[in-house]
């Protein structure tokens, strides 16, 4: 039986008002552990979406007191993306996977009878992989990204954020002098800086979190399970025979969804 978007989506929609400050948006994102909120007008209609990436863009205006003051006055309506990407609840999941790849988005608002009923994200697809991907059918090395975004621990947070925003990556790997990964900086790590405007004098070592690594020969199922259990969007790919060497690549939720969209994938049969 063909599975549909409504079978995988999260029911309900987490929202904020258009006049919510960026600090309030950051608090809601952190409380609900989500990457985006849908913005509603006074009548409760969804008019936009604001993500952690949007907040990072706002934060980088604050390189001086005047810019910081401007950033603090911004609201959800100033930084939100519109129109909102939507998908019908009755859309087959195989078609939804194709749409994620084509549009390069992290989520869709799910509609049924033209009314919002939930959201479906890349994380939802990853969670379902543990049921759909046969053990050892594919390896991490077959679908990982060989190109990775890296920086040193002493790199200013503002520089790392600019690199993330311009490249479209959700995170940057932090390495030492020998190329060994010592941490990762993601959008969630930057939430507190968005809230209090304290990014100017920070370096990535101040805000990074430990990196999760996976062997290049591990199965996609192992990668999916690790992503699900730790609520990560990207894993660092290493050679288990030489784990302290420079990373071989990274595997993300986007890489796994791309595998699902391949014509010969189990999802397309």
> Is residue 58 predicted with pLDDT exceeding 80?
no
Per residue in 240-255, pLDDT (tens digit) is: 888 788 999 999 877 7
Q: What is the pLDDT of residue 232?
A: 80
Q: What is the pLDDT of residue 196?
A: 59
Do 64 and 9 share a domain, yes or no? yes
Task: Give how many domains the chain has, as a whole number.
Answer: 2
- In a domain? residue 78: yes
- In a domain? residue 215: yes
Do 14 and 121 share a domain, yes or no? yes
Do 112 and 155 share a domain, yes or no? no
Do 113 and 47 share a domain, yes or no? yes
Per residue in 165-206, pLDDT (tens digit) is: 878 787 899 999 888 899 998 877 776 666 556 667 789 998
Do 111 and 85 share a domain, yes or no? yes
**Residue 129 pLDDT grade (very low, low, confident, very high; cuts 50, 70, 90):** low
> Is residue 231 predicted with pLDDT exceeding 90?
no
Do 154 and 249 share a domain, yes or no? yes
Do 233 and 146 share a domain, yes or no? yes
Domain that holds residue 214: 140-261
Percentage of residues of the chain with pLDDT beyond 90:
32
Question: Which tokens belong to 108?
Answer: 């869709």
- In a domain? residue 39: yes
- In a domain? residue 268: no
Q: Comparing 73-77, 78-82, 226-230, which segment has the lowest mean pLDDT?
A: 226-230
- In a domain? residue 108: yes
Q: What is the pLDDT of residue 2?
A: 77
Domain boundary among 125, 152, 184: 125
**Residue 100 pLDDT grade (very low, low, confident, very high; cuts 50, 70, 90):** confident
**What average pLDDT does the chain have?**
82
Q: Comparing 131-140, 160-169, 231-240, 252-261, which segment has the lowest mean pLDDT?
A: 131-140
Q: Which residues contact 59 (CB under 8 A, 6 or more apart)?
A: 22, 71, 161, 190, 193, 194, 197, 199
Do 43 and 87 share a domain, yes or no? yes
- In a domain? residue 134: no
Q: What is the pLDDT of residue 52?
A: 80
Question: What value does the mean pLDDT take over residues 263-268?
Answer: 55
Question: Which tokens belong to 185?
Answer: 């900086």
Do 185 and 242 share a domain, yes or no? yes
Question: What value does the mean pLDDT take over residues 131-151?
Answer: 73
Domain boundary among 62, 96, 125: 125
> Is residue 1 predicted with pLDDT exceeding 60?
yes
**Residue 217 pLDDT grade (very low, low, confident, very high; cuts 50, 70, 90):** very high
Q: What is the pLDDT of residue 178?
A: 87
- In a domain? residue 246: yes
Do 99 and 187 share a domain, yes or no? no
Do 17 and 96 share a domain, yes or no? yes
**Residue 53 pLDDT grade (very low, low, confident, very high; cuts 50, 70, 90):** confident
Tell me the CATH number at 16: 3.10.580.10
Domain boundary among 94, 125, 156: 125
Q: What is the pLDDT of residue 222?
A: 86
- In a domain? residue 150: yes
Do 148 and 100 share a domain, yes or no? no
Question: What value does the mean pLDDT take over residues 130-137?
Answer: 48
Identify which has the larger pLDDT, 180 or 38: 38
């Amino acid at each position: 039986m063909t599975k549909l978007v409504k079978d995988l989506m999260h029911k309900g929609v987490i929202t904020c008002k258009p006049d919510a400050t960026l600090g309030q948006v950051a608090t809601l994102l952190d409380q609900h552990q989500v990457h985006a909120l849908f913005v509603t007008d006074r009548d409760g209609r969804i008019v936009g979406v604001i993500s952690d990436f949007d907040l990072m863009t706002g934060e980088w205006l604050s390189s001086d007191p005047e810019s910081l003051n401007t950033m603090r006055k911004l609201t959800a309506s100033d930084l939100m993306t519109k129109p909102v990407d939507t998908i019908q609840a009755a859309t087959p999941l195989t078609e939804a996977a194709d749409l994620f790849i084509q549009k390069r988005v992290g989520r869709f608002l799910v509609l049924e009878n033209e009314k919002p009923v939930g959201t479906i994200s890349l994380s939802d697809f990853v969670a379902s992989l543990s049921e759909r991907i046969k053990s050892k059918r594919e390896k991490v090395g077959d679908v990982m990204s060989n190109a990775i975004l890296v920086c040193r621990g002493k790199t200013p947070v503002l520089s790392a954020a600019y690199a993330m925003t311009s490249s479209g990556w959700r995170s940057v790997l932090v390495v030492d002098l020998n190329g060994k990964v010592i941490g990762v900086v993601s959008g969630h790590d930057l939430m507190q800086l968005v809230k209090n405007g304290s990014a100017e004098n920070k370096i990535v070592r101040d805000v990074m979190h430990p990196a999760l690594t996976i062997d290049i020969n591990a199965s996609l199922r192992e990668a999916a399970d690790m992503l699900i259990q730790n609520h990560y969007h990207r894993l660092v790919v290493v050679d288990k025979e030489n784990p302290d060497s420079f990373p071989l690549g990274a595997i993300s939720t986007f890489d796994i969804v791309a595998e699902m969209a391949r014509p010969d994938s189990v999802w397309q049969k």
